[in-house]
Each structure stands twice: as structure tokens, then as C-alpha cells.
Amino acid sequence: MTHWLNTGWFKRWRQPTRNSATSREVLSAAEGYRRWASSYGREPNTFQQLEARVLPKLLPDVTGRRILDLGCGKGRISQLALEQGAAQAIASDLSLAMLVDRECYEGPKLVSTASKTLPFRRHSFDLVVGALVLGHVEHLDRALAAIGNTLRPGGVLVVSDFHPFATLRGWQRTFEDSESGETHAITQHLHLFSDYVRELGRQGLTIDALEEVLWEGSPVLFVLRARKLPVDTTS
């Protein structure tokens, strides 16, 4: 049985085989979002709509804070942060095409993170948001180490992504190539909640909120919030 959440986001199919006439090409995140950039965000996105039920509730007060919108797409989170009083919001994405082709948003500073390391100083941000992005990253430990380095003590990380149950069931992020008309999937890696607990703990972050979103009775999305331990000044 094939399920759709949205034409251009969330679809379940069998893993493609090399000789299958019905197989879809699975693209890297860099290549997939490069191809998707020109049409991204022009139609309602059911997956983002599901996320919007939970993620804003887990965001801390951003007034006067410095925010990193990591894997920003067209900058929806950083724009929201500025509207809510953030002192600075940096919208960062590995896809230059996403950063250049952004018709809907004005305001956040744009930074490419196409390299393997984040180009930010240690303790640069009060809040880092990784919305629907870390599932594209193969090595979660490296990603969370880089993110943890940019967070100041007492800072907050908010992450949303595919629920691991959905990934295990074969759900994938898809889009229709506006030039070829073909439907492609974007590589999605499985990260269990135990992986997040372990790797966040190594970076001095503790999960203090976790919400799971159901669709048709199955968990498809999660949003978690973690806080970086403040520096102990008593010793």
C-alpha cells in the first residue's frame, strides 16, 4: 500500500532496485535540494503543517537572542524568530540554490554550510533549530558535536524530523523535479531516539521535551528540545 502525505514531501514506496522500471532515483541532500529549490515552498506542505502543530510550542522565548536556523530551506524558522523579537537570525543551508531562490522571506542573514564543518564560532547562538534536516545526515554524532559547539551554555537545541518508525517503514522525502517532471526521493538516514540521547549527552545537552506526531494512527514525525548545561561557576 502506498501512502502520501503530500506530493513533494512524504511518500512510502518499496526500495528501488537497479533494474526496476518503476524505481525512483534517490538523491543526496545536496543534489536533491538543488533540484527542488526552484519549486520548494510554492505548494502547501503537509509534513511542515504537521510539524507546525508542535514545534512552535517547544521554542523558547527568542526575544533578544541569537538564532541559527540550520538547514533552513527558504528560511521559515529564522523569519519566525525575527518576527518574535530575536536580535539576530542566521539562515544556513548546504544548498546554495535554496539560499539564492528565496522569494518569500526577507530579513535573516544567509550563510552557506556546504562544507563539512559549521562556519560559526564556539558559543555563538542561544538557540539552534534543525527543522527536518538531521535525517539527511549520515553521521549524527558529528552533526550534534558541531551544533553543540555553536551553542552557548544554557542554550537550546530544537530538532524535528522523520520519526524513526516512519524511516523503518520505508517512508521517504520526495519531490517532483520541475524540469523533468520525475519524482525523486532524498536520502534519509535512520537515527533512533537512543542515538539522540547518547550523542546529545556527549555534548552536554539534556532532552527536556519530546513530542511525537501521528498521521493515520502511525508516528511520522518527532520534535525534541534539548538544553545545554550551564557552566558550573561554583567550583
The pLDDT score that the predictor gives to residue 188 is 93
Domain 4-14+26-228, what fold?
Answer: Rossmann fold (3.40.50)
Cα 231 from Cα 18, distance rounded (Å): 52
The pLDDT score that the predictor gives to residue 164 is 97
Residue count of the chain, please give it: 235
The pLDDT score that the predictor gives to residue 10 is 45
N-to-C CA span, the chain = 59
The pLDDT score that the predictor gives to residue 193 is 97
Q: 3-class SS at 121?
A: coil
SS (H, E, C) 71-93: CCCCCHHHHHHHHCCCCEEEEEE
Which residues are within 8 A (CB) of 41 and not within 5 positions of it... i.e. 6 or more apart?
73, 74, 76, 104
Each residue's pLDDT expressed in tens, for the chain with a length of 235 residues:
233 343 344 444 333 323 333 346 899 988 888 888 877 877 667 788 899 899 999 999 999 999 999 988 878 898 889 999 999 998 888 776 676 655 444 455 555 554 456 788 899 999 999 999 999 999 999 999 999 999 999 999 999 999 999 999 988 888 888 778 889 999 999 999 999 999 999 999 999 999 999 988 889 999 999 999 886 443 3
The pLDDT score that the predictor gives to residue 8 is 40
Q: 3-class SS at 150?
A: helix
